[in-house]
Structure 1
């Protein structure tokens, strides 16, 4: 791996790349528009047809094409066109329309995926995800590389419950599979969309599909969007929580015969948003030079945050992240009953995020995270599909991942000591300090001996090589009743590593004097100790396990399906690294046992009223053994523990109704009572997991002005949510935090989209607004500052509005 300096990009280089990407996108858009001007008119998909049947979506969750009604699992699937209609561009927006699925987006580098109350968001290189994300069958689940732009997709399938047999690695409690649009040799197609909005929003999206021959085609798609931050930067500079995303895709399709089909897919994305708005509610935002108060203690108001003293090569707060990958899909029909599939992939992500985690303007500390990862994977699968009674698949898989996560920290020892020592709190205007003192500093003279800049870095490494063998079969016992069973065996060889360095000597606070701080043998960090010579140390181990499912499905009729399932999910063992206990000591490694989920579920899927009404619902119960989480044992010091057992009982339902050709009504509801059964957090709710979620929308189309006017409001609501497994209960805090304020109460968001498309035209104009009522809410609370008794809060998006123009050929 290259060092941090290789991530530095000069302003000139940024301008050069921005120019290149803009030229590429505008060229694609121009091509689409020129072709679109020659187009034949396309009718509005939701109006004027007179048809009332709900569109029948074909999915491949069970590795074969099926109607959603025939799939005996809790599955929510949407077409790419529907997601475009309702304005879904990111996972966070998608989750609002999927019962049992939550996505928290602090930044593209730090998402939290939550399935039925179980969260996957840890960025450590050794950590296995609990919720898997796939692009065309390729796992992109590593936390720092999993948040990707959703554009030009055929559909997205979200499967809840343990799905390791069907989806593979780490689908402990659910999986998201993104099926991207492929190139089509059958005909030329192109589209483009331009968007503008408040907060200086600009969005460009384009697609061109070009047949090169009857058997070969290429497809190019892209999306670029920027938006200013919505939280004021009270110290000047870029406002916080901005958007700066560029995503590109190229697909080559080769179909030389009816038996052979191959796709080559290249994806590239970069994100460069401004810093995340970690807002302190303990200290007022002030000017660091004059002490003038600049703002208030509101959770959603302006923040005074900054990097300091040349930290991370002088970078400002914000994120520099790139992800890219190449995937090869080959499908060969051996015979009328046998089909061989191959999925080959390489993927890489690299991200550097700088954040002011204390939440106020004085330079108490500033953090960065430098996360990187490479992965290779190969899967071969053979499907048997031609029998009257039996359908099945079996295969083998290989997965290799090599990653690292470095966290540089910078402290101003004087500010830290004043914050930690009551006798000196007044010197810097602090009140009610609640971080225990590390050392006795009781005079201004003693304070002046401390370092203005102290730096230390910890880094963890993870390498995994895994082999899978899997099989799944469905047998029709009768014409109406079928049973399915699947099993997957995984074997992992793993290596974990740790490195700790004191980047400019030890801390005077902890080493006792400047002389001791400069001596590598005795120098101590504030929160970590260095490994021998500042070099990484490694330890290897092996792990293996089995996951499985058993399903029964009864087709009452072609339009009514009942099912029941039992499935087991497994999160592999990990070797968790930690800092030495003394300077130049050996790193510590703790084996964290595998987590096991046993899930029981029953559901029904139906279509009524000449298939104009689709209803689905399921009830479930799962038990979780050896739930792993982190607790704070001292300010800034964490330890991985088993929180014991946990369980959840829930219900998920969804409907889609088209009473007329001009009206489509859709909605979802989810209830999840997830609680810890014993241990430290007994009775607590799972973090990031509301007990209830609701979404509702309708698309109403009326003929006006020689065209169609479509009005599409959507409303989403969720109940109270906690941001940590301790539920911010004062008795469970080690920092003396006596307020239970790290919680978001119930709230709802109303969105509205209004579009107009003329008859016999290929263009459309649209106006849109999200969070129409400008509801104030927070995405997260506690965060790194919470480890020091000064929790921070991250605001949710305010009212966004804008307009778009699109053309399609």
Structure 2
């Protein structure tokens, strides 16, 4: 069947926009206005003060913890399904990708800066390998689109994801949720909170485990895409008086997932086929324990952070806020990059980082003026170490350097040819080969920022903000690859430093402004416009190169990527608040657009792709149909491309990777009392995403298509609740119709002509029991 993506999306878009335009009148005739229900009046803290979401002159999507729980959202990537303009790709907890309006932030290099700010309890945790966290015991999620340096720091060059966890309370309350599901899934979450007038505490925890959904027939290796994740979050709130609130939050998370299902479409596993959705034979390296420090495929990742936030009401108008935080992460991921049974492209990635930050902010809230200003300090050290393991003859044969022998890399029956005995005339049966390259990054940033909003009239409010940032960066690189026995050079095309560390420094600064206008058309409808500048800071890229005098440093300074964002929109609601809607359009102009590429050795590096343009429309609509039923919609059209001119090289005219042109999400949330004791609580959610490219080149890799056609997913939850005894039972299904789709394609293996493909999650079915104690 042919599926017309564009026509289908246009019909959905037209319907949704008509719905918004008729908001103030039409629904008075169709909605049960006598019902005692309306949409929750949502407030956000995007502008560092509590505001109704319609009074914030930027494009922001916000969700309460209660809504996430009703929809059963526990994974970061599922936020994409309810947020226009946001895509989160989760290969693994070690390798998430955050995409806002087509701009991807997923580089694992310690030398490159993030593009999307990820904030956790007011602290920047944007570094890719340390940015994943479990969604449990959440108070609020805010997704802010467009450059927001004044609000969320320099990493917010295209937007920010901000998550706040629930805080302690004085009244005693506790809850526990336990669940089971297919693929031997088990989960346990809970919390307990309480205290007295001046001190309260809260302890929240989560444990989730599930077998891998891609079977791995290789001996001594686990099935892939399984999870085992633990999170514990104790927090304490001190309130010595009515003016001071002190929050101390410690967060610990441990991930032991079974690894990512990279699979080759070139060679089938023994007795299998090349479908990414069938079983694999990812055998890894027999020397993994020695070379990588972990014997089996998978992830060993630990994250620890502590946050101290002090809010002090100096007067009715002035408030002082101090946020002090430290975050550490260590992760080791072992993966089979070729996706076959051959001991060929076996890699690991060991990433670590430590971040220390301090922000002091002073807020003023007046009748006409609202402002904040302050200073922040951010210090980060990180490293990315990539060891490699292979067998020499297998590697040379698979990459085509032994073609004269006319022996395939892998035979039709699935066996792997080891040619070392032939090539060495029996002196060696195998020739293990290993090497390692590593990059390091240090970044110190000091910022001064200010933001002022002034209400010129009851209808018109203007905002101006500015952040000055000064950064000092140090990048380092080292590699250690010996010459192979069967070849007089290193197997990977790396200029080996023999362990020597090459280093380079840089110092950069920038001014990042924003200007906003808010016009209140009436009590229920606001119009806004914004102009803002974003910046992804310069990259000091350090590598190595061969010269006539030996191996020397290769230092490249990639210019800062800058973007000017122009945006306008409407936010409104009906008089009775049964309908809430927001529509925005934007235009973004990029200079020195930075892309992440891979070289022939599998090294990721940042390159300048020239200029780029990005235009789009986003909309959100939420409607209370009656006292029991709410309907929500989000949709986006984003046309994000590198400028089509010869100065932009081979990438000219290409779409941004991971960004669909059209997305749509729609859902129903239903809650109905059956009698005075029992209640039904359920939700249904459908999402649509048009086709995407997984690589910047927008082209096949080694003859294999590395894109994904349109994807449609449906999830369903049906709950039965006892409101007197505070317990509930919920049956859930994600990917209800078991659609097959890809999470990623190309990957490290693509650099060697062996692109790998990662299957998306199949249908998951679960049953949960929850109990609350008060």
Instruction: Work out whether the TM-score is over 0.5.
Output: yes
Query: 1:717 maps to what in 2?
Result: 688
Query: 1:44 maps to what in 2?
Result: none
Q: Among 386, 405, 409, which residue is 1:424 paired with?
A: 405
Q: Among 194, 217, 222, which residue is 2:200 paired with?
A: 217
Within the alignment, does 1:554 sit opposite 2:539 as a pair? no
Within the alignment, does 1:507 sit opposite 2:484 as a pair? yes
Distance 1:282 1:448 in 2: 30
Distance 1:145 1:632 in 2: 21
Contact persistence 2:112–2:606 (CA under 8 A): no
Q: Among 331, 336, 342, which residue is 1:356 paired with?
A: 336
Query: 2:661 maps to what in 1?
Result: 691
Distance 1:263 1:630 in 2: 38
Query: 1:435 maps to what in 2?
Result: none
Within the alignment, does 1:763 sit opposite 2:727 as a pair? yes
Contact persistence 1:596–1:626 (CA under 8 A): yes
**Are the structure 2 counterparts of residues 638 and 77 from structure 1 closer, same or farther at C-alpha, using a change threshold of 3 Å?**
closer
SS in 1 for 2:404: helix
Contact persistence 2:442–2:474 (CA under 8 A): yes
SS in 1 for 2:551: coil
Displacement of 1:633 in angstroms is 5.8
Distance 2:681 2:737 in 1: 21
Distance 1:700 1:170 in 2: 38
**CA-to-aligned-CA distance 1:152-179 (integer Å, 9 cap, x gap):** 1110000001011111131010001111
Displacement of 1:659 in angstroms is 2.2
Query: 1:542 maps to what in 2?
Result: 507
Q: Among 544, 552, 564, which residue is 1:579 paired with?
A: 544
TM-score normalized by the length of structure 1? 0.87
Query: 2:474 maps to what in 1?
Result: 495
Distance 2:84 2:571 in 1: 15
Displacement of 1:632 in angstroms is 5.2
Within the alignment, does 1:702 sit opposite 2:672 as a pair? yes
Contact persistence 1:647–1:674 (CA under 8 A): yes
Query: 1:88 maps to what in 2?
Result: 73
SS in 2 for 1:94: helix
Displacement of 1:309 in angstroms is 2.6
Distance 1:470 1:176 in 2: 20
**CA-to-aligned-CA distance 1:418-441 (integer Å, 9 cap, x gap):** 12132235254469xxxxxxxxx9
Contact persistence 2:445–2:470 (CA under 8 A): yes
Distance 2:632 2:447 in 1: 39
Q: Among 340, 344, 355, which residue is 2:324 paired with?
A: 344
Distance 1:248 1:351 in 2: 18
Q: Among 298, 311, 331, which residue is 2:275 paired with?
A: 298
Query: 2:423 maps to what in 1?
Result: 445
Displacement of 1:333 in angstroms is 1.1
**CA-to-aligned-CA distance 1:215-264 (integer Å, 9 cap, x gap):** 10110000001000000112244210001100010110001111111000
**Are the structure 2 counterparts of residues 721 and 429 from structure 1 closer, same or farther at C-alpha, using a change threshold of 3 Å?**
same
Distance 1:469 1:154 in 2: 29
Distance 1:67 1:711 in 2: 27
Contact persistence 2:516–2:531 (CA under 8 A): yes
Displacement of 1:627 in angstroms is 1.0
Contact persistence 1:527–1:636 (CA under 8 A): no
Q: Among 260, 285, 290, which residue is 1:308 paired with?
A: 285
Contact persistence 1:321–1:352 (CA under 8 A): yes
Displacement of 1:584 in angstroms is 5.9
SS in 2 for 1:171: coil
**Are the structure 2 counterparts of residues 726 and 256 from structure 1 closer, same or farther at C-alpha, using a change threshold of 3 Å?**
same
Displacement of 1:580 in angstroms is 3.1
Displacement of 1:610 in angstroms is 1.2
**Are the structure 2 counterparts of residues 473 and 371 from structure 1 closer, same or farther at C-alpha, using a change threshold of 3 Å?**
same
SS in 2 for 1:784: helix
SS in 2 for 1:580: strand
SS in 1 for 2:396: helix
SS in 1 for 2:545: coil
Query: 1:379 maps to what in 2?
Result: 359
Displacement of 1:587 in angstroms is 2.6
Query: 1:132 maps to what in 2?
Result: 117
Within the alignment, does 1:260 sit opposite 2:224 as a pair? no
Contact persistence 2:679–2:722 (CA under 8 A): yes
Distance 1:681 1:423 in 2: 35
Distance 1:455 1:349 in 2: 26
**Structure 2 portions without partners, runs of 5+:** 1-31, 413-418
TM-score normalized by the length of structure 2? 0.91
Distance 1:195 1:608 in 2: 39
SS in 2 for 1:307: coil
1:493-642 map, 5 Å = 493-502=472-481, 505-511=482-488, 524-531=490-497, 533-581=498-546, 585-608=551-574, 610-631=576-597, 634=600, 636=602, 640-642=606-608
**Are the structure 2 counterparts of residues 765 and 686 from structure 1 closer, same or farther at C-alpha, using a change threshold of 3 Å?**
same
Distance 2:607 2:680 in 1: 56
Q: Among 673, 678, 684, which residue is 2:639 paired with?
A: 673
**Are the structure 2 counterparts of residues 255 and 414 from structure 1 closer, same or farther at C-alpha, using a change threshold of 3 Å?**
same
Q: Among 128, 132, 143, which residue is 2:128 paired with?
A: 143
**Are the structure 2 counterparts of residues 632 and 494 from structure 1 closer, same or farther at C-alpha, using a change threshold of 3 Å?**
closer
Displacement of 1:681 in angstroms is 1.3
Displacement of 1:634 in angstroms is 4.3
Displacement of 1:70 in angstroms is 0.5
Displacement of 1:506 in angstroms is 2.1
**Are the structure 2 counterparts of residues 129 and 94 from structure 1 closer, same or farther at C-alpha, using a change threshold of 3 Å?**
same
Distance 2:103 2:703 in 1: 27
Q: Which segment is superposed worse, 693-702 or 153-162?
A: 693-702
Within the alignment, does 1:233 sit opposite 2:216 as a pair? yes
Q: Which segment is superposed worse, 312-321 or 565-574?
A: 312-321
SS in 1 for 2:54: helix
Query: 1:329 maps to what in 2?
Result: 309
Within the alignment, does 1:205 sit opposite 2:189 as a pair? yes
**CA-to-aligned-CA distance 1:74-115 (integer Å, 9 cap, x gap):** 100000011011011111011111000000000000011000
Within the alignment, does 1:156 sit opposite 2:127 as a pair? no
Q: Which segment is superposed worse, 701-710 or 592-601?
A: 701-710
Distance 2:263 2:764 in 1: 21
Distance 1:744 1:603 in 2: 31
Displacement of 1:365 in angstroms is 2.0
Contact persistence 2:256–2:301 (CA under 8 A): yes
Q: Among 716, 723, 741, which residue is 1:777 paired with?
A: 741
Distance 1:151 1:192 in 2: 12
Query: 2:260 maps to what in 1?
Result: 276
Displacement of 1:314 in angstroms is 5.0
SS in 2 for 1:85: helix
1:398-437 map, 5 Å = 398-419=377-398, 420-421=400-401, 422-426=403-407, 428-429=409-410
| Superposed CA RMSD | 2.0
Contact persistence 1:119–1:688 (CA under 8 A): yes
Displacement of 1:641 in angstroms is 2.5
Displacement of 1:510 in angstroms is 3.8
Aligned residues: 722
Contact persistence 2:363–2:373 (CA under 8 A): yes
Distance 2:230 2:420 in 1: 52
Query: 1:516 maps to what in 2?
Result: none
Distance 2:604 2:629 in 1: 53
**CA-to-aligned-CA distance 1:751-799 (integer Å, 9 cap, x gap):** 0000011242311110000001000000000001111111110000000
Contact persistence 2:281–2:339 (CA under 8 A): yes
**CA-to-aligned-CA distance 1:383-425 (integer Å, 9 cap, x gap):** 011x221110000001100111100011211011212132235
**Structure 1 portions without partners, runs of 5+:** 1-46, 287-293, 432-440, 512-522
Distance 1:618 1:539 in 2: 43
